[in-house]
A and B are shown apart, each in its own frame.
Chain A
Amino acid sequence: MKTRILGFVALAAVIGAAVNGLFVVPADLNQGDAQRIMYVHVASAWLAYSSFGVTALAGLAYLIRRDLRLDALALAGAEVGVMFTAFAIWGGMMWGKPVWGVYWQWEDPRLTTTALLLALYIGYLLLRRLTDDPARRAARAAVVGLIAAVDIPIVHFSVIWWRGLHQGPTIGDPSRILNPSAPLQFVLALLAMLAAFTLVWVYLLIRRYQLARLEWQLEEDARRGRVRAAQQAAVSRPAVEEPAR
Chain B
Amino acid sequence: MSDLLRGVAVAMAIARKDALSELRGRQAAGSTIFFAAIVLLLFGFALGPDSRRLSEASPGLLWLAIVFGGLLTMARLHQLEADDGAFEQLALYPVDRRAIYAGKALAGAVAMLVLGGLLLPVVAILYAIPIGAAWLPLLLAVVLGAIGFAAIGTAYAGLTVRMRAREVMLPLLMLPIVAPLLLAAVKATVAALGGDPLGELWSWLQLLVAFDVIMLVAGAGTYGFLLED
Contact = CB atoms under 8 A, between A and B. Distances in A.
A and B touch in the complex (CB under 8 A): yes
Interface of A: 63, 116, 119-120, 122-123, 126-127, 130-131, 136, 139-140, 142-144, 146-148, 150-151, 154-155, 157-159, 161-162, 164-165
A135 to B, nearest CB: 9
Contact of B226 (A130, A140, A158, A161): A140
A154 B155 contact: no
Give the residue among B176, B203, B218 with the most A Cβ atoms within 10 A.
B176
B222 A130 contact: no
Contact of A158 (B152, B155, B165, B184): B184
A157 B207 contact: yes
B222 A146 contact: yes
B214 A154 contact: yes
User: Which DSSP category, helix, strand, loop or mixed, fits chain A's interface?
Assistant: helix
A139 B169 CA distance: 16
Interface residues of B, number: 34
15 contacts: A116-B176, A116-B179, A123-B172, A123-B176, A127-B169, A139-B229, A147-B152, A147-B177, A148-B176, A150-B214, A151-B177, A154-B180, A154-B207, A154-B214, A162-B187
A237 to B, nearest CB: 33
A28 to B, nearest CB: 32
B155 A147 contact: yes
A159 B183 contact: yes
Majority secondary structure, B binding face: helix
B179 A155 contact: yes
B225 A142 contact: yes
Interface of B: 152, 155-156, 159, 163-165, 169, 172-173, 175-177, 179-180, 183-184, 187, 198, 200, 203-204, 207, 210-211, 214-215, 218-219, 222, 225-226, 228-229
Contacts of B172: 122-123, 126
A143 B173 contact: no
Contacts, number: 81
A48 to B, nearest CB: 15
Contacts of B152: 147
Contacts of B225: 63, 139, 142-143
Given A142-B225, A161-B200, 17 more contacts: A119-B176, A120-B176, A126-B169, A140-B226, A144-B159, A146-B218, A146-B222, A147-B215, A147-B218, A147-B219, A148-B177, A151-B176, A158-B184, A158-B207, A159-B180, A161-B203, A161-B207
B206 to A, nearest CB: 10
B163, B180, B204, B218, most chain A CB atoms within 10 A: B180
A136 B164 CA distance: 13
B218 A154 contact: no
Contacts of B215: 147, 150
Contacts of B228: 139
Contacts of A131: 163
A70 to B, nearest CB: 14
Nearest to A154: B180
Nearest to B178: A151
Nearest to A151: B177
A158 B169 contact: no
A225 to B, nearest CB: 25
Given A123-B172, A143-B225, A157-B207, A130 B164 contact: yes
Contacts of B163: 127, 130-131
A144 B214 contact: no
A63 B225 CA distance: 8
B141 to A, nearest CB: 14
Contacts of A159: 180, 183
Contacts of B179: 116, 155
A5 B211 CA distance: 45
Closest 10 CB pairs of A and B: A119-B176, A158-B180, A143-B222, A154-B180, A123-B173, A120-B176, A155-B180, A123-B172, A139-B225, A130-B164
Nearest to B152: A147
Contacts of A116: 176, 179
Given A123-B172, A144-B173, A151 B164 contact: no
A130 B169 contact: yes
B147 to A, nearest CB: 15
A94 to B, nearest CB: 24
B226 A143 contact: yes
A119 B176 CA distance: 6
